[in-house]
Chains A and B, each alone.
Chain A
Amino acid sequence: MITFKIDGQQVKARPGWTVLETAREHGIEIPTLCFHPAVSASGACRLCMVELREGTWSKLVASCIYPVAEGLQVHTDTERVRNVRRWVLEMLLAACPASPEIAALAAKYDVVRTRFTSHDPDQTCMVCGLCARVCDEVVGLSAIAIVDRGVHKRVGAPFAKPTDICVACGSCVTVCPTGAMQAIFDSVRGEPTTALTQLAAQ
């Protein structure tokens, strides 16, 4: 067992756990968006940032991928942590204005307004990639993917062609934290029938 402190509270963790896992185990709340226990963590949304302190030294890390270590001093609600959260949420409100899930999460952390104008009022997806990861890692199909690069990243079918390998299992819809997959499911996945019959025949 590894022991360390989160917000001054002594916690115990198994080797190989992350700070986030440990916090959840002890009922300490840290907001997350791109994390789902069923798939590998990607450290993309940065909502789960926490501050590590040691004397005068301090540093922010993503708790969903930060491995536990003996004697860590983790703080989940410092000024710097709140500043990252606030701006990420404000930007998300403008990036996914049509997502009630995002609005609810933001409101929970007292972010109800955004200073930014939205480029697409119907957008709900924030490109966290959970849907693609669950399809790849859990379902084993890679029927959807994150396509394009940089600021143009979005969810789509691999090679920009709707695939026919989707078996309509709905895992992506389930993991999607913003409700986006529900809306784009059909346009991305293409015609599922052939793959379904193939799979049934196996």
Chain B
Amino acid sequence: MPNLSTALKMDPWRLQSGEELNRLRAQIIAGRDPQRPEIIICHGTGCLANGSDKVAKAFRAALEGKGIQAKVMPGIKTTGCHGFCSRGPLVIIRPQGLFYQRVKPKDVEEIVDHTLVHGKAVERLLYKDPSSGDLIFNEGEIPFYKLQQRIVLHNIGKIDPTDITDTIAAGGYQALAKALTTMTPEQVVAEMEKSGLRGRGGAGFPTGRKWRSALQAIKKKGRPVYVVVNGDEGDPGAFMDRTIMEGDPHAVLEGLIIGAYALGAAQGYLYVRAEYPLAIRHLEIAMHQAREYGLLGENILNSGFSFDARINRGAGAFVCGESTALFTSIEGKPGNPRPKYVRSVEEGLWGRPTVLNNVETWANVPLIIERGADWYAGLGVPHSTGTKVFSLVGKVNNVGLVEVPMGVSMAHIVEQIGGGVPDGKPFKAVQTGGPSGGCIPYSLKDTPVDFDSLTAAGSMMGSGAMIVMDHTDCVVDVGRYFLRFLEEESCGKCLPCRLGLTRLREILDNFSQGVGSEKDIEDLTSLSQAIQDGALCALGSSAPNPVLTTIRYFREEYLAHVQEHKCPAGVCKDLITYGIDPERCTGCMNCARQCPAQCITGKKKTAHVIDTHKCLRCGICKETCKFDAVFIS
């Protein structure tokens, strides 16, 4: 792996002070030619899935093979996710900042010839503003980015996460040096308290207050104390933490080291989902390089403070993200929540005082320490300071990762940044907070997205997944989907969760078949309340949220299923019939050929009909028809 020390044929640097860090940073920057062209190729999971590694290979081949006619040889850099995954693979050409989208290996030669040799843009690969139709050349001018405030994500997409010198050049470890050389541990904790930062992993507990309670627990019980990163991210549709760990692993690490310094911890753990191999690899590389540079391990920056950390692979269960289950999992036991009524800051990992924070929470720490709590508290709104990263998925044009100040409206995120629903209609609802969160309807689109407003609306911030739904999503079906997910993920220990989630889902199953009554809605509500009150851990106690919020905002739709035997969204199979509009049908016979039940009949060039008794309601005909003649009623 390339880094400055090997390039300069020196022994690995062991930085001895903050000044040395600054000197190294200046040296790295001075060694760079700001005019040198650089090809940035996104290697986030989304772009990789769309073949960005092949694009990178094509660039390497084109540059090496042909020997291009430019004055300076361009560099190639692969980075973490830029957030605009729906447009990937992304390629950015610096220094101009030209933004190319959906780049295929076959486009590479044209980019090299036009842009790198002749300095012109390849227009067909540029982003076109959907509203004005104008071509946009520069990344920063694209509304998707322009409307965001990327602070936690500021480095991602710019740095090579596998090269620590790139991080150092971008200002990495400045906050650590500041904390170690100019602040006492007490001052660090006080700064965190003042920043107002609240945990990004779900519950939104004030981070500074958590650290303060840990200090109090240490006073009672002594050390060791542990610091732990929760990188178990398991919500469907969530990929904020993965992106941060993959794209800027040093930010998480730096935050953790600062936390360790504040609490006097000698050992830390990063609990990362086993399904995130790239995140694990990048963190491993980051830790290895940080040790080489004297930023992790013994006597960090010659300050006398020593701390090291290790990675634990998650056991693969959603519930392992719950704090006590996570601790038992690190301890080598099955990851089940602990029933005890004690706080983890007092009795966490191995019964010791422990501070567990989410990946994004840790990544905020260096920003707060470097720029100050006052700056940070000025972002967002009073009780939800700073920014929040959201993954925007579902029925939305710009699927991707966005970062905005706390308190902007739901509409701003979904419509302005997300570009709204693909067919241009208003969105129906947004599920925030993952499977344990709730559905916010379109009528509340001006709700400020902050911890307290979302809770007041019956949902929650959760980890930051936002699933956008449109008129073709049925709330009963959505409820069944999330309950099935949690049913599978329940650890099975306590009865309200193990039995209750299945029973809730069964009542919803009945609704989807048109069986039920208004009384069942009351039962859903009071059984939900019993599960909320009775479950042992937050997996169970928050599981009824999607059901409760959809009943609250879409009661009519529930009733339509059982009173009119209709699924207004056209989703619940038992309540819909497929038909063919004779006005639109051209008699092309396409659907008849595709129908697995062979229940579509008709002659060539005459309108076709569906035998609804034999119809399987698979929807293949609707997908096949080029004339939009198949309808659901």
A and B associate in one complex: yes
Shortest beta-carbon distance, B316 to chain A, in Å?
Answer: 11
**CB pair A44 B536 closer than 8 Å:** yes
Which chain B residue shows the least CB distance to A117?
A: B506
Stretch from B72-80, B363-371, B483-491 that touches the partner? B483-491
B124 within 8 A of A: no
Per-residue 0/1 for A139-181: is the Cβ within 8 Å of any B Cβ (1 yes, 0 no)? 0000000001111110000000000000000000000000000
Shortest beta-carbon distance, B433 to chain A, in Å?
Answer: 21
A195 within 8 A of B: no
**CB pair A91 B500 closer than 8 Å:** yes
Contact partner of B534 among A66, A88, A115, A116, CB < 8 A?
Answer: A88
**CB pair B492 A84 closer than 8 Å:** no
Q: Which residues of A contact B498 (CB under 8 A)?
A: 127, 150-151, 153
Shortest beta-carbon distance, A61 to chain B, in Å?
Answer: 7
Q: Which residues of B contact A65 (CB under 8 A)?
A: 339-341
**Cα(A67)–Cα(B495), bound, Å:** 21
**CB pair A127 B492 closer than 8 Å:** yes
Shortest beta-carbon distance, A90 to chain B, in Å?
Answer: 9
**CB pair A116 B536 closer than 8 Å:** no
Per-residue 0/1 for B465-497: is the Cβ within 8 Å of any A Cβ (1 yes, 0 no)? 000000000000000000000011111111110
- CB-CB under 8 A for A44 and B534, given A95-B499, A116-B503: no
B502 within 8 A of A: yes
A134 within 8 A of B: no
**Cα(A91)–Cα(B530), bound, Å:** 11
Q: Which residues of B contact A88 (CB under 8 A)?
A: 495-496, 499, 530, 534
Classify the interface of chain B: helix, strand, loop or mixed.
helix
Q: Which residues of B contact A153 (CB under 8 A)?
A: 492-493, 498
A97 within 8 A of B: no
Per-residue 0/1 for A46-73: is the Cβ within 8 Å of any B Cβ (1 yes, 0 no)? 1101000000000011100111000000
**CB pair A149 B529 closer than 8 Å:** no
**CB pair A150 B488 closer than 8 Å:** yes
Which chain A residue shows the least CB distance to B502?
A: A151
Shortest beta-carbon distance, B196 to chain A, in Å?
Answer: 23
B141 within 8 A of A: no
Which chain B residue shows the least CB distance to A84?
A: B534
**CB pair B536 A43 closer than 8 Å:** yes
Shortest beta-carbon distance, A142 to chain B, in Å?
Answer: 14
Contact partner of A91 among B491, B495, B526, CB < 8 A?
Answer: B495
Contact partner of A49 among B339, B502, B529, B534, CB < 8 A?
Answer: B534
A92 within 8 A of B: yes
**CB pair B341 A61 closer than 8 Å:** yes
**Cα(A134)–Cα(B501), bound, Å:** 29
**Cα(A45)–Cα(B523), bound, Å:** 21
Q: Which residues of A contact B491 (CB under 8 A)?
A: 149-150
A87 within 8 A of B: yes
**CB pair A83 B529 closer than 8 Å:** yes
- CB-CB under 8 A for A44 and B495, given A84-B530, A88-B530: yes
**Cα(A80)–Cα(B533), bound, Å:** 8
**Cα(A61)–Cα(B523), bound, Å:** 23
- CB-CB under 8 A for A83 and B530, given A46-B495, A62-B536, A67-B341: yes
Per-residue 0/1 for A100-138: is the Cβ within 8 Å of any B Cβ (1 yes, 0 no)? 000000000000000110000000001100000000000
**Cα(A66)–Cα(B536), bound, Å:** 12
- CB-CB under 8 A for A46 and B494, given A80-B533, A95-B499, A151-B502: yes
Count: A-B pairs, CB below 8 Å: 90
Question: Residue among B339, B489, B490 with the most chain A CB within 10 A?
Answer: B339
**CB pair B526 A116 closer than 8 Å:** no
> How many residues on B have C-beta within 8 angstroms of the other chain's C-beta atoms?
31
Shortest beta-carbon distance, B8 to chain A, in Å?
Answer: 53
Contact partner of A151 among B487, B523, B534, CB < 8 A?
Answer: B487
**Cα(A141)–Cα(B463), bound, Å:** 43
- CB-CB under 8 A for A80 and B495, given A46-B534, A62-B339: no
B373 within 8 A of A: no
- CB-CB under 8 A for A45 and B495, given A66-B341, A80-B533: yes
Per-residue 0/1 for B496-540: is the Cβ within 8 Å of any A Cβ (1 yes, 0 no)? 101111110010000000000000000100110111011110000
**CB pair A84 B536 closer than 8 Å:** no
A3 within 8 A of B: no
**Cα(A116)–Cα(B527), bound, Å:** 12
Q: Which residues of B contact A149 (CB under 8 A)?
A: 317, 491-492
Which chain A residue shows the least CB distance to B526?
A: A83
List CB contacts (< 8 Å) of A19-59 with chain B. 41-47, 49
**CB pair A150 B523 closer than 8 Å:** no
Q: Which residues of A contact B501 (CB under 8 A)?
A: 151
Which chain A residue shows the least CB distance to B491?
A: A150
A12 within 8 A of B: no
A86 within 8 A of B: yes
Shortest beta-carbon distance, A193 to chain B, in Å?
Answer: 32
Q: Which residues of B contact A152 (CB under 8 A)?
A: 492
Shortest beta-carbon distance, B494 to chain A, in Å?
Answer: 5
Besides A46-B495, A88-B534, A149-B491, 14 more A-B contacts (Cβ < 8 Å) are: A43-B339, A44-B493, A46-B535, A49-B534, A62-B339, A83-B526, A87-B496, A87-B531, A87-B534, A88-B499, A91-B495, A150-B498, A153-B492, A153-B493
27 cross-chain CB contacts under 8 A: A41-B339, A42-B493, A45-B495, A46-B494, A46-B496, A46-B535, A49-B533, A61-B341, A62-B536, A65-B339, A65-B340, A84-B530, A84-B533, A86-B530, A87-B527, A87-B531, A88-B534, A91-B495, A91-B503, A115-B523, A116-B506, A149-B317, A150-B487, A151-B498, A151-B502, A153-B492, A153-B493
Q: Report the 5 A-B pairs with minimum CB-CB distance, sorted nearest first.
A: A43-B339, A87-B530, A153-B492, A84-B534, A150-B492
